[in-house]
Amino acid sequence: MTLEPTSDLVLAIATSPTFAEDSACFAARQSGLYRSVDGGKSWQFAYQSLKLKEALTTQTVVISPDFVHDRTVLAGVNGGILRSTDAGKRWQVYQLPSPPPVVTSLAFSPDYMKDGTAFCGTMEDGVFCSTDRGTHWTAWNFGLLDLHILCLAVSPTFARDETIFVGTDSGIYRSKNGGRAWRAVNFPMKSAPVISLALSPVYAGDGTLYAGTENGELFVSTDGGKDWNIAARFDDPINQIVLGSDWPRKPELLLLVGPSLQYSRDAGQIWKKRRIRLPVADDPTCLAAPLGVSRSSPLLIGTVSKGVFLI
């Protein structure tokens, strides 16, 4: 574990899909973006090439599914998107239409290597899409009646089904044509806002997705969002949902609920609170589980003021 030389909020963490001791990791923070090339053990400021005069708050960061080859990283900031194609050494800046919206979420198509598609959710202006590897971004909001995007999830078989979900202040919207048109799903509006989403790794076969709300309710749908059931209730917001990579053979779920972790090994029937043994006293704000959610797998935990810890 190594603390970063700043003491501000960690907002998101992204890691290389093939996580190892020498893997690239990124931490989005209020003071900017930080990069690790040793699996999260040590960190350096990633925006050196931009020669910034003031802090550039970074809300979210994602790594390409083909990162090993294309070295592509996207980072979301107020009013724009930053792209690196050399693992975070140099950056291109793409401004979104004025007035500058807050970027809340970013996601790659799982088939990014072939289709070059990525998505951006914003707090004021809905969803933007790029089909040229992040060079140009276009607003795709037809049918999207709530432009306050809080989270975004892309189907693991997007190349075939073109399915995307977004969580908003008022509920959940789904697109079945790659984001060109949206329709609200039958989610209980009284439980919104929806602040976290996660799709099953075999979504094409089981239609399973989970949605976490600001008021601590976890919902599950097994028919692609048509019907919803409450899987659990907690006392704090469900800020992040991670499904095990070996789903459904091992239906493991890991939630970041307020300042605590909740773990289920049976798709949410029984929950156990997992203690986070941090070396210092601090509350977690985000997590990354690059090798799954089993008890033996590593976790990267972002915190309020003490940086990122490798557990």
Residue type, 72: T
| Average pLDDT taken over every residue of the chain | 93
**Which pLDDT does position 1 carry in this prediction?**
41
Other CB atoms within 10 A of residue 117 CB:
23
pLDDT at residue 277, as a whole number = 74
Contact by Cβ (8 Å): 60, 73: no
The phi and psi torsions of 69 (rounded to 5 degrees) equal -100, -45
The HSE-up count of residue 295 (CA atoms within 13 Å, CB side) is 6
**How many Cβ atoms from other residues are within 10 Å of residue 211's Cβ?**
29
> b/e string for 221-259 if b means 16 or more Cβ within 10 A?
beebbeebeebbebeebbbbbbbbeebeeebbbbbbbbe
Note the pTM of the prediction, 2 decimals. 0.94
Collect all residues with Cβ–Cβ distance below 8 Å to 30 and sequence separation of at least 6.
8, 9, 11, 55, 57
Side-chain half-sphere exposure of 102, counting CA atoms within 13 A: 10
pLDDT tens-digit series, residues 245-259: 889 999 999 999 998
Quote the CA–CA distance of 139 and 143 in Å, as a whole number. 12
Q: Which amino acid is at 175?
A: S
Q: In the prediction, which pLDDT does 2 show?
A: 44
Q: Which pLDDT score, from 0 to 100, does residue 6 have?
A: 59
Rounded Cα–Cα distance for residues 215 and 195 (Å): 10
- The pLDDT score that the predictor gives to residue 3 is 41
Fold assignment, 49-284: Methylamine Dehydrogenase; Chain H (2.130.10)
124 Cβ contact partners less than 8 Å away, ≥ 6 residues apart: 99, 101, 102, 147, 148
Q: Which residues of the chain have pLDDT under 50?
A: 1-5
CA distance 245 to 67: 18
Residue 3: both structure tokens together: 């603390």
- Is 303 within 8 Å of 10 (Cβ atoms)? yes
